[in-house]
Amino acid sequence: MMNRLRAVLRRFDSFQQRHPWAGFPVAVGRKFNDDRAGSLGAVIAYYAFLAVFPLLLVLVVVLSVVLHGHPALQQRALGSALADFPVIGGALRTNVSGLHRSGLSLVLGLLGTLIGARGVANAAQHAFNTVWAVPYKRRPGFPWSQVRSFAAIGVIGLGVLTTTALSGIGEGFSHLSVWVQLGVRLTAFATSLVLNVALFWLGFRITTAAEVPTRALRTGAVLAAVAWQLLQAVGGYLIGHELRHASTLYGVFGLVLGLLFWLHIQAQLTLFVVEADVVRARGLWPRSLLAPPYTEADRVSFTAYAKVEERHDGVTVDVTIEGSTDGR
């Protein structure tokens, strides 16, 4: 049985190495696994979760001051801010609306948001530099790494404000005809896509070491923006399915699990499209599934993984690979 299975894998391996349309996704999956991108995405999702609830607390306090005496407008603005959270957005709004609104709440919310957002930015820097195989010695050190983190926080904040504004525009035309609403929604969708591409490109540039050219990050930004838009479209089903079972088992904690699930999916998806961009930009396919022998892409990838560990200017890692196709 094992011999038959290995023979089938051999035939598939040979097939995917001869056909780029099959070899490319296999190479992306291999690199995603080699980089332990799943764990990197989990760290990003964890810090994003830490930032969400304090951010909502800040938003509630600010809206209660700015829109004092206008509860309907407060709820509409809060709903627009939660538009990126399918299904659970309504539950989040219900839970945070009853929070105590005071100066202490604002201070604690700002502090929690800063800690969580800084964690997201630091984790993103580590993840993207790992995916692009940037050696540690060529990554930004202190204090420039922290400067980049705070710049990334600014980009995240700009993205939140942009999403909120576009959601608010869509709701403002809800009283008009169906065709006008459709036109407004399509315009808002296209505008959101263009802005997301720009924000992702800027975010990737800030969180990735300078040795990676800016133009090499462009395709990844486009893929990430499109993937996020598609994820937003199917997010209602994904979160609804997850939240239904989680709520049955865990009650109110199902909301927390639903939020963690959503943030986790977003982080994993972002890293996956970045991995695809790296494979495309550096020609890292086809990869061998049953090496040796190794392909040229295998040899280049393994060499890059080893050289990531060069942590000081005086340290150079030499790599010897036995069984590569070119005999080295």
Per-residue pLDDT reduced to its tens digit, 173-195: 555 666 766 777 778 778 888 88
Report the SS3 class of residue 324. Answer: strand
Instruction: Determine the pLDDT at residue 188.
Output: 74
Q: What is the pLDDT of residues 44-96, one digit of tens each?
A: 999 998 888 777 777 766 666 666 666 666 666 666 556 666 655 566 666 55
The Cα 72–Cα 229 span in angstroms is 28
Report the SS3 class of residue 67. Answer: coil
Q: What is the pLDDT of residues 131-165, one digit of tens each?
A: 999 999 999 988 899 999 999 988 877 776 676 66
Amino acid, res. 20: P
**Structure pTM?**
0.84
Amino acid, res. 124: A
Q: What is the pLDDT of residues 2-49, one digit of tens each?
A: 888 888 999 999 999 999 999 999 999 999 999 999 999 999 999 998
User: What's the Rg (C-alpha) of the chain?
Assistant: 23
**193-202 contact pairs (CB < 8 A, 24+):** 193/225, 193/226, 193/229, 195/162, 196/159, 196/224, 196/225, 196/228, 196/229, 197/221, 197/222, 197/225, 199/155, 199/158, 199/159, 199/162, 199/225, 200/224, 200/225, 202/155
Question: Which residue's entry shows tokens 């070899």?
Answer: 23
Which residues are registered as beta bridge partners of 324? 294
Question: Which residue's entry shows tokens 């299904």?
Answer: 87
Instruction: Determine the pLDDT at residue 328.
Output: 45
Instruction: Determine the pLDDT at residue 243.
Output: 60
Burial 307-328 (b: 16+ CB within 10 A, else e): bbeeeeeeeeeeeebeebeeee
Q: Half-sphere exposure of residue 178, counting CA atoms within 13 Å on the CB side?
A: 0
The Cα 109–Cα 98 span in angstroms is 15
For residues 213-218, average pLDDT: 94
- DSSP per-residue codes, 137-172: GGS--TTHHHHHHHHHHHHHHHHHHHHHHHHHHHHH
Q: How many CB atoms lie within 10 A of CB 182?
A: 11
The Cα 240–Cα 91 span in angstroms is 12
Instruction: Determine the pLDDT at residue 158.
Output: 78
Q: What tokens appear for 54 in the block?
A: 């304090």
Locate the domains of the chain by residue range. Answer: 50-267
Peptide bond into 135 cis (omega under 30): no
Check whether 170 has a pLDDT greater than 80: no
181 Cβ contact list (under 8 Å, min separation 6): 173, 174
Q: What is the pLDDT of residues 236-251, one digit of tens each?
A: 666 666 565 555 555 5
Question: Which residue's entry shows tokens 């802005």?
Answer: 195
Instruction: Determine the pLDDT at residue 33.
Output: 96
Instruction: Determine the pLDDT at residue 52.
Output: 82
- Under the banding of pLDDT at 50, 70 and 90, the label for residue 327 is very low
Q: Mean pLDDT, the chain, as a whole number?
A: 82
Q: What tokens appear for 219 in the block?
A: 């395709």
Q: What tokens appear for 238 in the block?
A: 């994904």
Instruction: Determine the pLDDT at residue 183.
Output: 76
Check whether 171 has a pLDDT greater than 80: no
Instruction: Determine the pLDDT at residue 15.
Output: 95
